Amino acid sequence: MELPLLVLKITGTSLLVGFIALLIQVFRSMVLKPRRLRAKLRQQGIKGPPPTFLLGNTLDIKRTQSKAQHQGDQQQITHDSSATVFPFFQRWIEQYGPTFLFSLGNIQILHITDADLVKEIITCTSMDLGNPTYQQKERGPLLGKGILTSNGELWAHQRKIIAPELYLDKVKGMTHLMADCSVMVVNWWKSKVDSEGGAADIKVDDCLRRFTRDVISRACFGSNYSKGEEIFFKIRALQEAMSKKVLSNGFPGMRYLPTESNREIWRLEKEVRALILKAVNETKEETSKEDLLQMILKGAKSSDLGPDATDNFIVDNCKNIYFAGYETTAITAAWTLLLLALNPDWQDKVRAEVLQICGGKIPDADMIRRMKTLTMVINETLRLYPPGAIISREALEDMKFGALDVPKGVNIWLMPVTLHQDPEIWGADADKFNPQRFANGVSGACKVPHVYLPFGFGPHTCLGQHFALAELKLLLALALSNFSFSPSPNYRHCPTLSLIIEPKYGVNLIVRRL
């Protein structure tokens, strides 16, 4: 009987020691480390809202958001989306200045809108400045853990292999595909308008999502685009599940726990991965030169990555293309049509340019390139409603930007939507729609052009930028050639953050045939 008792005592002692060690580790991670990082930054004069134990400033953020929601939707349409989407940041900027410190749980974040610091950060190529480690769990299911890897290996590889083709030959070669999908949207709107006597109230963002879904599915799978349908719907469901966790739920480690929302995200991630790899295995023997999937497979084949890393590379890039090419392009097109509906003079200018260049023909790559007025309008739309509301980085080692010392482990948030509407940078009309500011390009639009970040900047510029712009221009050119747009009485202006800045209730417009 003594031996079992001894074993029981040893086991109990081991469990107690392990539990104490765990408590010490948790205390260091959630209390000592955040306190140490905050102290180092406060020594440099950086202030911020006082954090709550364990939760940081999450409760304050939720209270401010809730208060803004209770105040009701905007009755008057304004484009100050920074104040609308991030009212808490606006309040903290007024209290603590353009650079301040706040916390999400035990994550310490520097909010930076100082133009000089922003330039240093976005042009930094050091591997010591990487994507936040917490995002590899938070956003990894949606955009891929390989793309978000902190050491930059897969990012560098995908940029080397994929970027040149996606920027140049692939975009030009796919304009006919984009045109086919655009014609489908135009024909559907014509049918709807004709059936309602010449004018119809249409929720355009739904149609635009269908357009971009078709473009991406066909671009990835060519004539077998139906393979992409199920993947698309699963990724859409994954995005909706992830949008519920924007700005975190506040409790450290919650993203690792098997909560109902986390289990749903994990299930969808596995299903998306399985569907993509199945489609890849069915497509490997095909030799189409136009499919984006073939381009990704080529990049994976030419790499020296192991089997698991190769699968991650393929899956991550497919998810990235679906998300970036589908949601962000559709929402930007919707915002653009809304702004043109609200500004009929600019709508007339763009339409005149399109008709003059295209002469009634479907636009091709050369015609798109010559549409200067439409480009100005899209640039202004992306300024007021940038798809990516937050650019986040983490100091993986101690770093220095200007006079600012950033300790290892501190996250940095750059806010394009705030930078894009700073009156000191853009002028007194920063919250107004004025495409004329881009008449001489981005460099002539404001005092510090590097703060214009709709597609990121420097080494982390969006790989799909040119693809998305070609989609936008072609669709908008065809739409404006066939219809006029005006605001619908059913439209409710309420920009909201759901991974990207999108219209909470959609975009309803009155559409009339020309």
**Poorest-confidence range of 189-198, 293-302, 374-383?**
293-302
Q: What mean pLDDT comes out for the span 175-189?
A: 90
**Burial zone of 487 (CB within 10 Å; 0-12 exposed, 13-18 middle, 19+ buried):** middle
pLDDT tens profile 424-433: 899 999 999 9
Pick the residue with more confidence: 418 or 251? 418
The chain-wide mean pLDDT, for the chain, equals 81
**Above pLDDT 70, what percent of the chain?**
79
Sign for the pseudo-dihedral over CA of 419, 434, 470, 492: positive
Residue pair 295/301 in contact by the 8 Å Cβ criterion? no
The pLDDT confidence band at residue 165, using thresholds 50, 70 and 90, is: very low
Look up residue 6 and give its two tokens.
């001894």
Look up residue 366 and give its two tokens.
């050369």
Nearest to 230, CA basis, from 348, 359, 318: 318
The pLDDT confidence band at residue 73, using thresholds 50, 70 and 90, is: low
pLDDT recorded at residue 389: 80
**Poorest-confidence range of 103-117, 234-248, 466-480?**
234-248
The pLDDT confidence band at residue 130, using thresholds 50, 70 and 90, is: confident
Residues paired with residue 485 on neighbouring β-strands, in sequence order: 511
Please name each of the domains of the chain with its CATH number: 36-513 (1.10.630.10)
Nearest to 134, CA basis, from 101, 170, 106: 106
pLDDT recorded at residue 397: 92
The pLDDT confidence band at residue 146, using thresholds 50, 70 and 90, is: very low
Q: What mean pLDDT comes out for the span 145-156?
A: 37
Alpha-carbon distance of 434 to 445, in angstroms, equals 10
The upper half-sphere exposure of residue 328, i.e. CA atoms within 13 Å in the direction of its Cβ, equals 23
The pLDDT confidence band at residue 138, using thresholds 50, 70 and 90, is: very low
pLDDT recorded at residue 241: 73
Residue 25 has pLDDT above 90, yes or no: no
Beta strands in 60-210 (DSSP E): 99-104, 107-112, 129-130, 199-203
Residue 9 has pLDDT above 50, yes or no: yes
pLDDT recorded at residue 252: 52
Report the largest interatomic distance among the alpha carbons of the chain, rounded to a whole angstrom. 97
pTM of the model: 0.85
pLDDT recorded at residue 368: 92
* Top-confidence range, 122-136, 203-217, 404-418, 464-478: 404-418
**Above pLDDT 90, what percent of the chain?**
36
